Amino acid sequence: MRPYLRLLHCTCALLLLAPALADAQQKPAARTAYTTFVRGTPIGREDVTVQSDASGLTVTSEGRLGAPVNLIIRRAEFRYAANGSPQLFELQGDSNGADISIKTTVAGGNVTTEQTKATPITHPVNAQAVLHANGIVGSYVALARRLEQTAPGSEVRMYVVPEMEIGVRLVNVQNDRMQLGNDFLGARRYDVVLLNPNSNTAVAITTDVQGNLLTVRIPSQGVDIVRADLASVTVRTHVHSNPGDEPVTIPSAAGFNIGATLTRPPKAAPGTRLPTVILLSGFSANDRDGYLAGIPVIGQLAGAIANAGFMAVRYDKRGYGQSGGRSESATLTDYADDVRTVMRWLSERKDVDPRRIAVVGHSDGAWVALLAASRERRFAAVATLGSPATTGAELVLELQQRTLDLLTLSPEERRKREALQKQIIAAVQSSKGLTDLPTDVRRQADTPWFQSVLNFSPARVLKDVRQPLLILHAGLDHEVEPADADRLAQIAQKESDSPSVELLIVKGVNHLIVPAVTGEVKEYGALTDRNVSADVVSGITGWLTRTFAAIK
């Protein structure tokens, strides 16, 4: 793939995957600005203008994306006929300091791309394919319109300039609300899966009720592209709502507020001090609902825990949604401190039993839960759901191996990628050799967050955990294998001062803690039951009931 078409990569999967980075918007005859964020850090802005009339649809834009993309868009244009068929894409701009010029035309069932200093490329193309240019916000305008006319389970064809045609499967459509301060904006969320040749990528596309695109989120990459007027901490999308939900704001000693939601039990007696659970999502989900592959994992879990008689709390991570702070400088310890802030705030409420507050973390968010519990003895209990047992450095290498297994690479190319990943890890951990890394790689890897992840050791942290511990794992988890749960339990039983360590493997459930057939990541988009497993819920709530009952 040519340099100007490179996509943003998740730091933990450097040099491995290239899910699409894009967004779009359509406001007739009006210019609309969008801001692109990577892990909460704004890296660029694009102004998009949409013209729709009897002749068809034309989308033009201009803007700039900083590192790691480094793209200046002097002018980009997408053109479609009145029947929705693609006609033209043009780009004039600058990539990493070099001028680029691209022209893609569609005619006679073929698409031809001419570009700077390159031989023209021609491919056959579907007559109704939408055109997509990576890094260009305007790419998604036509897709947003097409999704309005698409039934869940169906596919839209997409031609990624100048590489290939892929499918975009619409998994789910849901009406949402976006909260702007105290006001609400009606929204519609489309959960889609990009069917790339070697992997699938979940993307959430949100429009207003008129079909004008508001946001595009790629959770696995930490990428959010948001209409500029919505890109503030006073705005959040209501991905999931429970009957007992109450939005709250929690002040932090770090100088910012944390946007959170309390979920109350439906039959709680007035004046009762309730046992309470703080819920944490993994690194791939930054919103309070723990939105993964189209499923609000944490939002659903909060409702189920509340139905069992406990207060549940979930919140946006710092720098996301309605939480302030800066994510780009945050470490795992900082995130653990945020958990402790929430716990202390809860302890002062008259409707919370301060002796019965537990923290539950999903996926690598379990690391934050363990770290918070090790640093705050007032937590009554801690639970991990699908937690890795390896060190952070080992986890990154495991993720790379799984990804490389999905790709068609020569032995030499695979060796080079493995060697570079090890070089990255060694350089970040030692702070030596960083200047030897490619500039864009260094910018992504040399961050406080990534360094804290690489240096994290569950075994080391477990030595300071003195609360009752539940280690729950999905039997069909292929992102973090069940063997990690066995290893984590063995470490806890040997090294920690926990009075009780319980291990529970839930059969027939995947890493998202929902029912599955194979548990493979490629199955996520085809799941029919998209609700957190009742067996997982009963495992957690049963353990909480027993644990809290033992507290005098």
Q: What is the pLDDT of residue 254?
A: 85
229 domain residue, yes or no: no
Contact 305, 263 (CB under 8 A): yes
DSSP letter for 514, please: S
Q: Is residue 416 located within the same domain as residue 355?
A: no
Distance from C-alpha of 370 to C-alpha of 383, rounded to nearest angstrom:
8
DSSP letter for 461, please: H
Residue by residue, pLDDT tens for the chain (552 residues) are: 333 332 323 333 332 322 222 333 333 457 899 988 876 678 889 999 999 889 999 999 999 988 777 889 999 999 999 999 999 999 999 887 788 999 999 999 999 999 877 889 999 999 999 999 988 988 988 899 999 999 988 999 999 998 899 999 998 888 877 766 556 778 898 989 888 876 678 888 999 888 888 999 887 677 888 888 887 655 555 557 888 899 999 999 888 999 999 999 998 888 899 999 999 998 878 889 998 877 899 999 999 999 999 999 999 999 887 888 887 788 999 999 999 999 999 999 999 999 999 999 999 899 999 999 999 999 999 999 999 999 999 988 888 887 777 667 788 888 888 898 899 999 988 888 888 887 767 777 888 888 999 999 999 999 999 999 999 999 999 999 999 999 999 999 999 999 999 999 999 999 999 999 999 887 887 888 999 999 999 999 999 999 999 997
Q: Is residue 445 located within the same domain as residue 464?
A: no
Q: What is the pLDDT of residue 28?
A: 44
Q: Using DSSP bridges, classify how beta strands 381-385 and 164-180 pair: parallel, antiparallel or unpaired.
A: unpaired
Q: Is residue 409 located within the same domain as residue 476?
A: no
231 domain residue, yes or no: no
Residue 181: Cβ within 10 Å count: 9
176 domain residue, yes or no: no
Q: Is residue 409 located within the same domain as residue 516?
A: no
Contact 424, 460 (CB under 8 A): no
Q: Is residue 444 located within the same domain as residue 466?
A: no
The boundaries of the domain holding residue 400 are 393-452
Distance from C-alpha of 503 to C-alpha of 486, rounded to nearest angstrom:
8
Contacts of 481 (CB under 8 A, 6+ apart): none
Q: What is the pLDDT of residue 353?
A: 97
Helix residue ranges, H only, 69-216: 140-148
Q: Is residue 12 located within the same domain as residue 117?
A: yes
Give me the CATH number covering residue 514: 3.40.50.1820
Look at the chain and report how many structural domains it folds into: 3
pLDDT tens digits along 350-396: 999 999 999 999 998 999 999 999 999 999 999 999 999 999 999 88
- Domain ends where: 452, 481, 498? 452
249 domain residue, yes or no: yes
Q: Is residue 428 located within the same domain as residue 307?
A: no
Contact 313, 303 (CB under 8 A): no
- Domain ends where: 403, 430, 452? 452
| Chain centre to alpha carbon of residue 98 | 32
CA angle 80, 136, 206 (to 5 degrees): 80
13 domain residue, yes or no: yes
Torsion-angle region of 371 (φ positive above 0: left; ψ -120 to 50: alpha; else: beta)? alpha
Q: Is residue 400 located within the same domain as residue 490?
A: no
pLDDT tens digits along 459-497: 999 999 999 999 999 999 999 999 999 999 999 999 999
Q: Is residue 386 located within the same domain as residue 398?
A: no
Question: Long-range pairs for 546-550 at CB < 8 Å and ≥24 separation?
Answer: 547/358, 547/380, 547/381, 547/468, 547/470, 547/500, 548/275, 548/356, 548/358, 548/380, 548/381, 550/468
Q: Is residue 324 located within the same domain as residue 335?
A: yes
What three-state secondary structure class fits 370?
helix
Distance from C-alpha of 143 to C-alpha of 23, rounded to nearest angstrom:
10
- Domain ends where: 128, 152, 168? 168
Distance from C-alpha of 376 to C-alpha of 529, rounded to nearest angstrom:
37
For 147, the token pair is: 């999704």
Q: What is the pLDDT of residue 406?
A: 66
DSSP letter for 509, please: B
Q: Is residue 32 located within the same domain as residue 154?
A: yes
219 domain residue, yes or no: no
418 domain residue, yes or no: yes
Q: Is residue 445 located within the same domain as residue 465?
A: no
Phi and psi at 305, nearest 5°, equal -65, -40
Report whether the peptide linkage leading into residue 438 is cis, meaning its omega lies within 30 degrees of zero: no
Strand ranges across the sheet with 381-385: 245-251, 257-263, 311-315, 274-280, 352-362, 381-385, 469-474, 501-506
57 domain residue, yes or no: yes
